[in-house]
Structures are given as C-alpha cells and as structure tokens.
A and B are shown apart, each in its own frame.
Chain A
Amino acid sequence: MTKILMIHFTIEDRDGTQQPIEIPEGINLSLMEVLKASEYDILATCGGMALCATCHVKVLDGFDDLPSAQDAELDMLDTLPDADSDSRLACQIRVDERLNGATFRIKGVRELV
C-alpha cells in the first residue's frame, strides 16, 4: 500500500486566528480552492483568473519556497493598493509540497459592491 503524503501549511484569518491545514499531495487544487473548501470568507469572484484579486494573501512564512508568480499575477498584485512584497493571489498558487510549512494571512476584500 502506498502511503499518501500530506502537505501541511497554516492559514491565518483576518482576525488573526490560525488554523493548520492538511491536504493530500497530488490533489491538483489552487490555494484559493482550498480556502473556499475550508469555508474561509473569500469572494474569489473571477474564479481563478487573476482578475479580481479577492483571494489576495500575505505570505507570513515560506514565501521564497512557493512556486513563483507569473506575469498575470504580478500585474494584478502591482495594481493593489494594499499589496506588499510578500503578497500573492491564492488562485495562482497550486498546492504542492512547496507549501509545506508556509503560513498565509487572508487579505482579500469581502465585498465588491
């Protein structure tokens, strides 16, 4: 029997509460999809196309280990008034072993009205 390897990282909600997340390797989800499935309050309006930035996260730990951002994500981050050098869009991060030990703080706005 092959053992399923798990990926472990931490999510910090807007109120500062942290929760460990455990995801089986090879699941082929984005971090945004994991956040939604874990019932975090994010809009993800555009559905993962790096268009709305409502899945904006701040990487508190493990930024350098993450798969690097592509142009669409960097362009969008560049327009965000509250982005910083450790900002990412959760929809553009595929969940794999490189997320092990990382900590993400949710930053995306909750309303687009």
Chain B
Amino acid sequence: MVTTDICIIGAGPVGLFAVFEAGLLKMRCHLIDALPQIGGQLSEIYPQKPIYDIPGYPAINAQTLVDNLMTQIAPFNPGFTLGERVEQLDRQADGSYVVTTNDGTSVHCQVVVIAGGLGCFEPRKPEIENLERFEGKGVAYMVKNPEQLRDRRVVLAGGGDSALDWTVFLADVAKEVTLVHRSDTFRGAPDSAEKVFHLASQGRVNLVLQSNITSIHGNGHLQEVSITAKDKTVTTLPADNLIPLFGLTPKLGPIADWGLTIDRSAIVVNTTDYATNVERIYAIGDINTYPGKLKLILCGFHEAALMCQSAFRYVHPDQKLSFKYTTVNGVPTF
C-alpha cells in the first residue's frame, strides 16, 4: 500500500502542476494514470504541437511543457503509478480514502483529486439491444486470449485495422469467422484488407459488407446475431462469440459510480475550491464543470492552486495555513 497525502488521478499537465502547489503547502502526492506515460493528452495525442496560451511562453511544444512541469515538481518527489486504471474508492472510518487500481495497486490518502482530462479511453460500444447483457457471455470488445476462441463461431464487427487483423488471425483458430462491416471498403492497412478479401474468396472467412449487426440473441450465453444489410434484408447467423471492434472513446469509467454529481459527462465542482459534492474529493482541469468553465490548461493550473488551499485542512488539520510567495520563501523540498 502506497501512503500519501493527496492521490491525483490523471498525470496530465494539471495533475502535474497540482503536485507543485501541494508541495508548497507540504503535502505529498501520488499520481495514477491509465496511460503508460506521464503527460496525458499532451504526450499521448499532440506531443509535437505548439501551445500558444501558456502564460510566459509565446509558444511551447506540448511535450516540452510536460518535461518542464516534471522538472518543476521534482523537488516534491511525487510517486507515479502508470498504465493502471483507478477502479475503486473506499472511504475509511477516519474520512481518508483508499484508491485501488485494476492491477491491485492501492493508495491510502487524505484527499483525492480527479484530474482525469477527457477520462480514460475505452472500447466504443455499438448500439445493439441487449449487448451489455451478453458481455462476458460471448460478447467482448477486445481479444485477450485468442485460444479461447479456438473452434468457436466468431463474429467480428468493424472496419479498422484491429477488425481486419483479428479476422486474418482468427481464420486459422476459430471454427468460423464472420466479419461484418457497414461499408464495402476498408480504411485499414491495404494489405490487411487484401488478406481478408483473399481469405473470403477462399471461403475461409465470411465477409458481410454494407451491413450492421442489429440484434443478438441467446439463452444466458450468446447464440446468434442478426445482421441487417443496406437493402434491409435480415440474416441470422449462429455465433458463440461477438467482438465489436469500433475503436476507443473517452469515458469517465468507474469515477461515474462514486456518487459525484455529474453533468454532461463532467464532474460538477464549486468555484471556491473545486471541491465536488463528496467531502475530500476535488476535480480539476478538463474533467470538471462549473458556470463559465473553459477547458484550458491555464484554468486547470488556477484550479489546482485553489484546490490545494482547501485540501490543506484535511492533510494538516492541526496546522494553520499561511500563504507564502515563492519569491519570498523559495521552493521547499521533501
């Protein structure tokens, strides 16, 4: 068990800067991020793009901003758990929290700060009635262990690289492979598409184009899928497994179940200290919402500073908070 003062969920720019503001108030931080590297969107999505609205920097490369933040917070020696998604939050009798990840890492903290940006990226689910009822009972959104599909009748849906690659791979493993795609062309890698067309011409995979899966049926476990073609004809296929592969979409994930007030997929906070409706839980950066909210890094920095002033009372309940300028006092270290 990791023990810290503040557990920050999300290691993007705002989560990183929160470490600095917390450090000035002698609060230690541990950050958890589902991505394997620090920096959030900046490192994952646009590392080489310049950002023009960071005060004091006419232009700064996104990755450079992350690197600079890491240098800035180094004196406070934050802990990191990367590549793990926060699953559970358990309130302790004394009001503190234990945060647990999907890999079983747990962090004991006095305050939880959600700086999760867009949320975590999860498989996008197609709109098919009863789909969720069959999750784990034939329906899965990724192939974790292809051996489990050996000699099964597998239906894949989607037209991207992963749909094509798994169709090719499973042709040698499954008893029957059907790929359902809404278009008659594929944007995925041309040689993967070519392989799929070739396998289809040999009758080794069943290619159903210009069609969508519209319903699924089963008795406890998935048994058949119904496919509707563009001309509205419906075909029903027996199937043991259905794997919709429609890319990733940002989601709040388990955070949505923590009793926080949520409005349009964002966490509602007050603007005094960016606290949520649950005591000791704060939300800063792109993941929060309040009247006038702007999703800007600089606004997230401001939110981080005010949040720390408020969180101090839970971390150091016996101390009086006195505000100090870094120009007067410098930056302390741990």
Contact = CB atoms under 8 A, between A and B. Distances in A.
A52 B249 contact: yes
Contact of B265 (A45, A53, A80, A81): A45
B250 A51 contact: yes
B251 interface: yes
A112 B252 contact: yes
B247 interface: yes
Contacts of B328: none
B246 A80 contact: yes
Contacts, number: 65
Nearest to A76: B247
B244 interface: yes
Specify which of A53, A81, A84, A110 lies most central, judged by the most chain B CB atoms within 10 Å of its CB. Answer: A81
Given A112-B249, A113-B251, A49 B45 contact: yes
B53 to A, nearest CB: 13
A53 B249 contact: yes
Interface in A49-84: 49, 51-53, 74-76, 78-84
B264 interface: yes
Interface residues of B, number: 30
B154 to A, nearest CB: 18
Contacts of A75: 160, 187
Nearest to A84: B182
A97 B158 CA distance: 35
A113 B116 CA distance: 13
Specify which of A74, A80, A83, A112 lies most central, judged by the most chain B CB atoms within 10 Å of its CB. Answer: A112
Given A46-B250, A49-B46, A113-B251, A79 B160 contact: yes
Interface in B131-171: 157-160
A113 B118 contact: no
27 contacts: A43-B264, A43-B265, A45-B265, A47-B286, A47-B295, A49-B46, A75-B187, A76-B247, A78-B187, A79-B246, A79-B247, A79-B248, A80-B124, A81-B124, A81-B212, A82-B127, A83-B182, A84-B182, A85-B183, A112-B119, A112-B249, A112-B251, A112-B252, A112-B265, A113-B252, A113-B262, A113-B265
Contacts of A15: none
Given A45-B118, A49-B46, A81 B244 contact: yes
B67 to A, nearest CB: 21
B237 interface: no
Nearest to A85: B183
Interface string A83-113: 1110000000000000000000000001111
Contacts of B119: 45, 112
Contacts of A83: 182
Interface string B246-276: 1111111000100000101100000000000
B50 to A, nearest CB: 15
B246 to A, nearest CB: 5
B187 A74 contact: yes
Interface in B227-246: 244, 246
A47 B150 CA distance: 42
A81 to B, nearest CB: 3
Nearest to A82: B127
B80 to A, nearest CB: 24
A55 to B, nearest CB: 13
Contacts of A84: 182
Contact of A52 (B46, B182, B250): B250
